[in-house]
């Protein structure tokens, strides 16, 4: 049998295909979409029209959305995970626009949906939009945020109150990132030990932020898990343990508001200020 040049090319092409499949497997349906990012909408002091007071996460996978929602105090946060590069979210004054681009939206897909707020009450209007999903949130507060990323950048303060810190006791000690390197400065603070980590980038929970600070400052915590959904309780921090019988223990505040849930279940947004304090129980 005579083998032509065309046959040689076909055999070579088949061999390449077999090697690619062996290395990477068969392509799965719906996997052609480029998934690169997470977008977050932080409603701040405004309840959301869907799952108010919760962190609600929609994750895009193989052409469909998975949804999960957990309590977050009274703060509503929406997260859109695993979305394509052309997905967009923008805040313009009191209005937030979420453009799903080539993706369908989790609800009212292919339509333009507008939520308008009067007090704590939302009303919605939905109109056909040629298969293009857009959500618009009107009457948002000035503190609402819309940003891209799987991490947040926030400030973390650890206030030892009446206790001495294990290093630089009685000082105000600040860590800043200068030229890509974390640099520490420490100044006398009247015997009051305070540590500050400025513009600390971490995964978006308070516990993840604390762990990021630990790796920079060279200290640690001990913790326990107390709920089926992964709630973590800080038992000690920087060598100071929680005390019983009205003694001091570790608690935290976000933007000046006492946090009423586990730090592993409290989600942050860019620019938040988190303060841990070693003091008698506040709430």
Per-residue pLDDT tens listing for the chain (283 residues): 454 554 544 444 444 333 333 333 333 333 344 567 899 999 988 999 999 999 999 999 989 999 999 888 788 999 999 999 899 999 999 999 999 999 999 999 999 999 999 988 999 999 999 999 999 999 999 889 999 988 999 999 999 999 999 999 999 999 999 999 999 999 999 999 999 999 999 999 999 999 999 999 999 999 998 876 678 999 999 999 999 888 899 999 999 999 988 999 898 989 999 999 999 987 5
Q: Which tokens belong to 73?
A: 């105090």
Structural domain boundaries in the chain: 35-148, 152-279
d(CA 24, CA 20): 6
Q: 152-279 belongs to which CATH class?
A: mainly beta
Q: Which tokens belong to 181?
A: 């390197």
Question: For 24, phi and psi rounded to 5 degrees?
Answer: -120, -10
Q: How far is CA 272 from CA 44, 90, 99, 209, 254, in A?
A: 10, 19, 25, 11, 7
**pTM of the entire structure?**
0.73
d(CA 210, CA 197): 10
């Amino acid at each position: 049998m005579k083998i032509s040049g065309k046959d040689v090319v076909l055999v070579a092409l088949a061999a390449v295909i077999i090697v690619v499949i062996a290395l990477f497997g068969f392509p799965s349906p719906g996997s052609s979409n480029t998934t690169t990012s997470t977008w977050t909408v932080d409603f701040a002091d405004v309840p959301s029209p869907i799952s108010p007071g919760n962190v609600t996460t929609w994750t895009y996978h193989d052409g469909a959305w998975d949804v999960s929602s957990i309590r977050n105090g009274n703060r509503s946060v929406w997260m859109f995970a695993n979305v394509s590069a052309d997905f967009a979210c923008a805040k313009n004054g009191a209005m937030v626009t979420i453009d799903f681009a080539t993706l369908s939206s989790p609800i009212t897909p292919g339509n333009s949906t507008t939520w308008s707020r009067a007090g704590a009450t939302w009303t919605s209007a939905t109109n056909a939009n040629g298969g293009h999903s857009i959500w618009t949130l009107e009457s948002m507060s000035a503190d609402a945020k819309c940003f891209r990323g799987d991490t947040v950048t926030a400030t973390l303060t650890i206030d030892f109150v009446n206790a001495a810190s294990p290093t630089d006791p009685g000082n105000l000690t600040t860590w800043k990132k200068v030229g890509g390197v974390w640099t520490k400065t420490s100044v006398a603070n009247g015997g009051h030990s305070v540590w500050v980590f400025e513009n600390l980038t971490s995964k978006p929970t308070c516990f993840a932020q604390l762990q990021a600070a630990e790796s920079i400052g060279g200290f640690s915590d001990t913790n326990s898990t107390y709920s089926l959904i992964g709630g973590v309780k800080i038992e000690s921090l920087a060598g100071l343990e929680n005390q019983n019988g009205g003694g001091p223990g570790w608690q935290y505040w976000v933007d000046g508001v006492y946090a009423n849930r586990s730090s592993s279940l409290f989600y942050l947004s860019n620019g938040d200020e988190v303060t841990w304090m070693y003091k008698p129980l506040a709430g």
